[in-house]
Copies of this chain bind each other. A is one copy, B any other.
Protein backbone atom coordinates (compact mmCIF):
# COMPACT_ATOMS: atom_id res chain seq x y z
CA UNK A 1 0.00 0.00 0.00
CA UNK A 2 1.24 3.47 -0.83
CA UNK A 3 2.45 5.43 2.16
CA UNK A 4 0.37 8.33 3.46
CA UNK A 5 1.93 11.52 2.09
CA UNK A 6 3.13 14.40 4.26
CA UNK A 7 3.88 17.64 2.45
CA UNK A 8 4.23 21.39 2.82
CA UNK A 9 3.30 24.21 0.47
CA UNK A 10 4.16 24.82 -3.17
CA UNK A 11 7.49 26.56 -3.80
CA UNK A 12 8.90 24.76 -0.77
CA UNK A 13 11.15 26.63 1.62
CA UNK A 14 13.34 25.18 4.36
CA UNK A 15 10.55 25.10 6.99
CA UNK A 16 8.20 23.28 4.62
CA UNK A 17 10.78 20.62 3.69
CA UNK A 18 12.18 20.15 7.20
CA UNK A 19 8.70 20.02 8.76
CA UNK A 20 7.47 17.43 6.29
CA UNK A 21 10.48 15.25 7.14
CA UNK A 22 10.12 15.89 10.88
CA UNK A 23 6.35 15.36 10.95
CA UNK A 24 6.62 12.15 8.95
CA UNK A 25 9.18 10.80 11.43
CA UNK A 26 7.01 11.82 14.39
CA UNK A 27 3.86 10.28 12.90
CA UNK A 28 5.65 7.02 12.08
CA UNK A 29 7.38 6.78 15.45
CA UNK A 30 4.70 8.01 17.83
CA UNK A 31 1.43 7.27 16.06
CA UNK A 32 2.35 4.10 14.12
CA UNK A 33 1.53 5.76 10.82
CA UNK A 34 3.19 4.72 7.57
CA UNK A 35 3.98 8.09 6.02
CA UNK A 36 6.43 9.51 3.50
CA UNK A 37 7.60 13.13 3.37
CA UNK A 38 7.29 14.52 -0.15
CA UNK A 39 7.58 18.01 -1.70
CA UNK A 40 5.48 20.05 -4.10
CA UNK A 41 8.57 21.35 -5.90
CA UNK A 42 12.35 21.11 -6.00
CA UNK A 43 14.22 22.43 -3.00
CA UNK A 44 15.74 25.91 -3.08
CA UNK A 45 19.44 26.71 -2.60
CA UNK A 46 19.06 27.41 1.12
CA UNK A 47 17.25 24.13 1.77
CA UNK A 48 19.80 22.25 -0.34
CA UNK A 49 22.55 23.73 1.85
CA UNK A 50 20.79 22.37 4.96
CA UNK A 51 20.08 18.95 3.43
CA UNK A 52 23.72 18.62 2.34
CA UNK A 53 25.01 19.73 5.74
CA UNK A 54 23.00 17.07 7.57
CA UNK A 55 23.26 14.37 4.91
CA UNK A 56 19.55 14.06 4.15
CA UNK A 57 18.20 13.42 0.64
CA UNK A 58 15.69 15.89 -0.80
CA UNK A 59 12.13 14.53 -0.66
CA UNK A 60 10.54 13.12 -3.81
CA UNK A 61 8.64 15.79 -5.77
CA UNK A 62 4.95 15.14 -6.50
CA UNK A 63 2.42 17.08 -8.57
CA UNK A 64 -0.71 15.33 -7.35
CA UNK A 65 -1.27 13.20 -4.27
CA UNK A 66 -1.84 9.57 -5.21
CA UNK A 67 -2.99 8.45 -1.75
CA UNK A 68 -6.41 8.83 -0.22
CA UNK A 69 -5.09 10.35 3.01
CA UNK A 70 -2.53 13.12 3.48
CA UNK A 71 -1.03 15.30 6.19
CA UNK A 72 -0.32 18.98 5.54
CA UNK A 73 2.52 20.92 7.11
CA UNK A 74 3.31 24.64 6.95
CA UNK A 75 0.11 25.50 5.04
CA UNK A 76 -3.62 24.91 5.24
CA UNK A 77 -5.08 26.91 2.33
CA UNK A 78 -6.02 24.96 -0.79
CA UNK A 79 -4.41 27.54 -3.10
CA UNK A 80 -0.99 26.72 -1.62
CA UNK A 81 -1.42 22.95 -1.62
CA UNK A 82 -1.25 20.01 -3.98
CA UNK A 83 -3.29 20.30 -7.19
CA UNK A 84 -5.85 17.64 -6.20
CA UNK A 85 -6.24 18.72 -2.55
CA UNK A 86 -10.04 18.75 -2.93
CA UNK A 87 -10.01 15.03 -3.71
CA UNK A 88 -7.91 13.79 -0.80
CA UNK A 89 -8.71 13.37 2.87
CA UNK A 90 -6.63 15.54 5.20
CA UNK A 91 -5.90 13.54 8.37
CA UNK A 92 -3.95 16.29 10.10
CA UNK A 93 -2.29 19.69 9.83
CA UNK A 94 0.79 21.14 11.54
CA UNK A 95 0.88 24.82 10.69
CA UNK A 96 1.61 28.36 11.90
CA UNK A 97 -0.36 30.50 9.46
CA UNK A 98 -3.70 32.22 9.27
CA UNK A 99 -6.41 29.69 8.65
CA UNK A 100 -8.76 29.05 5.76
CA UNK A 101 -9.62 25.39 5.80
CA UNK A 102 -12.74 23.32 5.45
CA UNK A 103 -13.11 19.60 6.12
CA UNK A 104 -16.06 17.25 6.07
CA UNK A 105 -14.85 15.20 9.04
CA UNK A 106 -13.03 15.83 12.31
CA UNK A 107 -9.24 15.85 11.98
CA UNK A 108 -6.04 16.67 13.84
CA UNK A 109 -4.96 20.31 13.69
CA UNK A 110 -2.05 21.78 15.60
CA UNK A 111 -1.71 25.41 14.55
CA UNK A 112 0.27 27.85 16.69
CA UNK A 113 1.32 31.43 15.93
CA UNK A 114 5.02 30.66 16.36
CA UNK A 115 7.92 31.48 14.07
CA UNK A 116 8.18 28.12 12.34
CA UNK A 117 6.43 24.77 12.11
CA UNK A 118 9.78 23.27 13.13
CA UNK A 119 9.27 24.94 16.52
CA UNK A 120 5.84 23.35 16.91
CA UNK A 121 7.30 19.96 16.00
CA UNK A 122 10.17 20.40 18.48
CA UNK A 123 7.59 20.77 21.28
CA UNK A 124 5.49 17.87 19.94
CA UNK A 125 8.57 15.65 20.09
CA UNK A 126 9.40 16.97 23.56
CA UNK A 127 5.87 16.47 24.90
CA UNK A 128 5.74 12.95 23.52
CA UNK A 129 9.21 12.18 24.87
CA UNK A 130 10.38 11.09 21.41
CA UNK A 131 14.10 11.68 20.74
CA UNK A 132 14.83 13.62 17.56
CA UNK A 133 17.49 12.00 15.34
CA UNK A 134 20.47 14.35 14.91
CA UNK A 135 19.98 14.87 11.16
CA UNK A 136 16.28 15.71 11.57
CA UNK A 137 17.10 18.05 14.47
CA UNK A 138 19.62 19.77 12.17
CA UNK A 139 17.01 20.25 9.46
CA UNK A 140 14.46 21.55 11.97
CA UNK A 141 17.06 23.94 13.42
CA UNK A 142 17.71 25.17 9.87
CA UNK A 143 13.97 25.74 9.45
CA UNK A 144 13.75 27.84 12.63
CA UNK A 145 16.76 29.88 11.45
CA UNK A 146 15.25 30.30 7.98
CA UNK A 147 11.75 31.34 9.03
CA UNK A 148 12.90 33.65 11.84
CA UNK A 149 16.00 35.00 10.06
CA UNK A 150 18.17 33.76 12.91
CA UNK A 151 15.58 34.82 15.56
CA UNK A 152 15.56 38.42 14.28
CA UNK A 153 12.21 38.44 12.43
CA UNK A 154 9.23 39.94 14.31
CA UNK A 155 7.57 36.53 13.96
CA UNK A 156 10.11 35.16 16.46
CA UNK A 157 8.64 33.95 19.77
CA UNK A 158 10.20 32.72 23.01
CA UNK A 159 9.23 29.23 21.87
CA UNK A 160 11.40 29.60 18.74
CA UNK A 161 14.40 30.56 20.86
CA UNK A 162 13.93 27.55 23.13
CA UNK A 163 13.36 25.26 20.14
CA UNK A 164 16.45 26.46 18.27
CA UNK A 165 18.63 25.93 21.34
CA UNK A 166 17.21 22.43 21.88
CA UNK A 167 17.43 21.47 18.21
CA UNK A 168 21.00 22.78 17.85
CA UNK A 169 22.02 20.70 20.85
CA UNK A 170 20.32 17.57 19.45
CA UNK A 171 22.00 18.19 16.07
CA UNK A 172 25.44 18.77 17.57
CA UNK A 173 25.50 22.24 16.04
CA UNK A 174 28.08 24.16 18.08
CA UNK A 175 28.06 27.58 16.43
CA UNK A 176 24.43 28.31 15.55
CA UNK A 177 25.18 31.92 14.58
CA UNK A 178 27.89 31.00 12.06
CA UNK A 179 25.87 28.12 10.59
CA UNK A 180 22.76 30.30 10.45
CA UNK A 181 24.48 33.10 8.53
CA UNK A 182 25.99 30.60 6.08
CA UNK A 183 22.54 29.01 5.61
CA UNK A 184 20.80 32.34 5.00
CA UNK A 185 23.52 33.50 2.62
CA UNK A 186 23.23 30.24 0.68
CA UNK A 187 19.71 31.31 -0.19
CA UNK A 188 20.67 34.78 -1.40
CA UNK A 189 22.85 34.16 -4.46
CA UNK A 190 20.34 35.52 -6.93
CA UNK A 191 22.75 36.26 -9.77
CA UNK A 192 22.38 32.83 -11.36
CA UNK A 193 18.59 32.94 -11.21
CA UNK A 194 16.32 33.99 -14.04
CA UNK A 195 13.66 36.65 -13.45
CA UNK A 196 11.06 33.88 -13.55
CA UNK A 197 12.88 31.93 -10.86
CA UNK A 198 13.09 35.05 -8.71
CA UNK A 199 9.39 35.88 -8.86
CA UNK A 200 8.24 32.26 -8.56
CA UNK A 201 10.52 31.22 -5.70
CA UNK A 202 8.54 31.23 -2.44
CA UNK A 203 5.58 33.02 -4.10
CA UNK A 204 2.14 32.31 -2.65
CA UNK A 205 -1.39 33.25 -3.69
CA UNK A 206 -3.74 35.10 -1.35
CA UNK A 207 -7.35 36.25 -1.57
CA UNK A 208 -7.31 39.76 -0.16
CA UNK A 209 -10.39 41.97 -0.20
CA UNK A 210 -11.86 39.99 -3.07
CA UNK A 211 -8.69 40.36 -5.16
CA UNK A 212 -6.11 37.74 -6.10
CA UNK A 213 -2.71 38.71 -4.77
CA UNK A 214 0.40 36.81 -5.72
CA UNK A 215 3.11 37.68 -3.23
CA UNK A 216 6.69 36.61 -3.81
CA UNK A 217 9.69 37.27 -1.61
CA UNK A 218 13.44 36.96 -2.07
CA UNK A 219 16.13 37.38 0.54
CA UNK A 220 19.27 39.25 -0.39
CA UNK A 221 22.14 41.18 1.11
CA UNK A 222 21.75 43.97 -1.50
CA UNK A 223 18.25 45.14 -2.49
CA UNK A 224 19.45 47.65 -5.09
CA UNK A 225 21.39 44.94 -6.92
CA UNK A 226 18.12 43.03 -7.37
CA UNK A 227 16.37 46.22 -8.54
CA UNK A 228 18.90 46.72 -11.35
CA UNK A 229 16.82 43.97 -12.98
CA UNK A 230 13.50 45.79 -12.40
CA UNK A 231 12.50 46.14 -16.06
CA UNK A 232 13.04 42.46 -16.78
CA UNK A 233 11.29 41.50 -13.52
CA UNK A 234 8.24 43.59 -14.47
CA UNK A 235 8.05 41.97 -17.90
CA UNK A 236 8.12 38.52 -16.31
CA UNK A 237 5.58 39.47 -13.62
CA UNK A 238 3.14 40.86 -16.18
CA UNK A 239 3.49 37.74 -18.33
CA UNK A 240 2.80 35.54 -15.31
CA UNK A 241 -0.20 37.64 -14.20
CA UNK A 242 -1.70 37.31 -17.68
CA UNK A 243 -0.99 33.57 -17.85
CA UNK A 244 -2.21 32.71 -14.33
CA UNK A 245 -4.98 35.29 -13.92
CA UNK A 246 -3.48 37.10 -10.90
CA UNK A 247 -4.96 40.60 -10.38
CA UNK A 248 -2.03 41.83 -8.32
CA UNK A 249 1.61 40.92 -7.86
CA UNK A 250 3.78 42.09 -5.00
CA UNK A 251 7.44 41.11 -5.16
CA UNK A 252 9.09 41.70 -1.80
CA UNK A 253 12.88 42.04 -1.76
CA UNK A 254 14.24 41.63 1.76
CA UNK A 255 17.64 42.64 3.08
CA UNK A 256 18.25 39.91 5.68
CA UNK A 257 21.26 41.61 7.21
CA UNK A 258 19.56 44.96 7.88
CA UNK A 259 15.97 43.69 8.20
CA UNK A 260 14.43 46.00 5.58
CA UNK A 261 12.49 45.42 2.38
CA UNK A 262 11.41 47.10 -0.82
CA UNK A 263 8.55 45.73 -2.89
CA UNK A 264 7.76 45.89 -6.57
CA UNK A 265 4.00 46.15 -7.14
CA UNK A 266 2.09 45.49 -10.37
CA UNK A 267 -1.68 45.84 -10.34
CA UNK A 268 -4.56 48.29 -10.23
CA UNK A 269 -4.86 48.63 -6.44
CA UNK A 270 -2.10 51.19 -5.95
CA UNK A 271 -4.17 53.30 -3.54
CA UNK A 272 -4.85 50.30 -1.27
CA UNK A 273 -1.21 49.18 -1.38
CA UNK A 274 0.00 52.69 -0.48
CA UNK A 275 -2.59 52.85 2.30
CA UNK A 276 -1.56 49.43 3.64
CA UNK A 277 2.06 50.44 4.12
CA UNK A 278 1.57 54.20 4.55
CA UNK A 279 4.17 54.86 1.86
CA UNK A 280 4.07 56.03 -1.75
CA UNK A 281 4.83 53.89 -4.78
CA UNK A 282 7.60 55.39 -6.92
CA UNK A 283 8.14 53.76 -10.28
CA UNK A 284 6.16 50.74 -8.95
CA UNK A 285 8.48 50.36 -5.97
CA UNK A 286 7.41 50.89 -2.36
CA UNK A 287 9.81 51.20 0.54
CA UNK A 288 9.07 48.86 3.47
CA UNK A 289 11.47 49.78 6.28
CA UNK A 290 11.66 47.15 9.02
CA UNK A 291 9.57 44.67 7.04
CA UNK A 292 10.92 41.14 6.80
CA UNK A 293 7.85 38.94 7.37
CA UNK A 294 5.28 38.46 4.62
CA UNK A 295 2.96 36.73 7.05
CA UNK A 296 3.16 39.29 9.83
CA UNK A 297 4.06 42.54 8.08
CA UNK A 298 2.76 42.27 4.52
CA UNK A 299 -0.46 40.25 4.41
CA UNK A 300 -2.19 41.71 7.53
CA UNK A 301 -1.76 45.40 6.47
CA UNK A 302 -3.03 44.52 2.99
CA UNK A 303 -6.03 42.74 4.51
CA UNK A 304 -6.66 45.78 6.71
CA UNK A 305 -6.42 48.24 3.81
CA UNK A 306 -9.23 46.55 1.88
Contact = CB atoms under 8 A, between A and B. Distances in A.
A295 B127 CA distance: 29
A111 B105 contact: no
B102 A113 contact: no
Contacts of A109: 99, 109-112
A112 B108 contact: yes
Given A99-B101, A99-B103, A103-B98, A111 B108 contact: yes
Contacts of A96: 106
A111 B96 CA distance: 14
Given A108-B112, A109-B109, A100 B99 contact: no
Nearest to A127: B127
Contacts of A204: none
B113 A105 contact: yes
Interface string A122-153: 00000100000000000000000000000000
A304 to B, nearest CB: 8
Contacts of A303: 104
A204 to B, nearest CB: 14
Interface in A203-251: none
Contacts of A98: 103-107
A102 B100 CA distance: 4
Contacts of A106: 96-99, 111-113, 295-296
A101 B102 CA distance: 7
A101 B104 CA distance: 12
A300 B105 contact: yes
A97 B103 CA distance: 9
Given A99-B103, A100-B101, A127-B127, 5 more contacts: A98-B106, A99-B107, A99-B109, A108-B111, A109-B110
30 contacts: A96-B106, A97-B106, A98-B103, A98-B104, A98-B105, A98-B107, A99-B101, A99-B102, A99-B103, A99-B106, A99-B109, A100-B101, A100-B103, A101-B101, A104-B300, A104-B303, A105-B300, A106-B111, A106-B112, A106-B113, A106-B296, A107-B111, A107-B113, A108-B112, A108-B113, A109-B109, A109-B110, A109-B111, A110-B110, A127-B127
